[in-house]
Amino acid sequence: MPGRPASPCTHIGCKALSRDGTGRCPDLPREAWVKKADAPKRISGRKLQKLRADLFRQSPLCVVCQAEGRITAATERDHIVPLSQTQKDEASNVGMQALCHACHEAKSKRERRGKQTG
């Protein structure tokens, strides 16, 4: 059976070929993702599911869309103050709001831009 065909390395400016299926040549491997040591511990599992259910029961619509006169179901639990600033994802941190996916993405992009320039 023939092997996988070679493809150009996905690293910008590299003209070498990748033959192992990773998309990178042997000289420019991808760096493994590593969680930052100072990353805040996030709520997960059943506790998170309960918090999400409680939030969506209290606020089933996206608060941003509502403020703009639209009706959109909330699908995401958003930290009003970003985790990168508070460093706490705890049930006692009441700074949560219900957002739709589009509003959450837009808010996250604004926060990332602000963090990079600030």
What is the reported pTM?
Answer: 0.62
- Cα–Cα distance for residue pair 74/101, rounded to 1 Å: 8
Interval 26-79: pLDDT, tens: 899 888 888 788 777 788 899 999 999 999 999 999 999 999 999 999 999 998
- At residue 113, the pLDDT reads 85
Interval 46-55: pLDDT, tens: 999 999 999 9
**Stretch (H or E) spanning 18:** strand 17-18
Mean pLDDT score of the chain = 85
Residue 18's CB is within 10 A of a number of other CB atoms, namely 20
- Cα–Cα distance for residue pair 22/14, rounded to 1 Å: 14
Interval 10-28: pLDDT, tens: 999 998 998 888 889 989 9
DSSP characters over 77-88: EEESS-HHHH--
Question: How are beta strands 96-99 and 76-79 bridged, if at all?
Answer: antiparallel
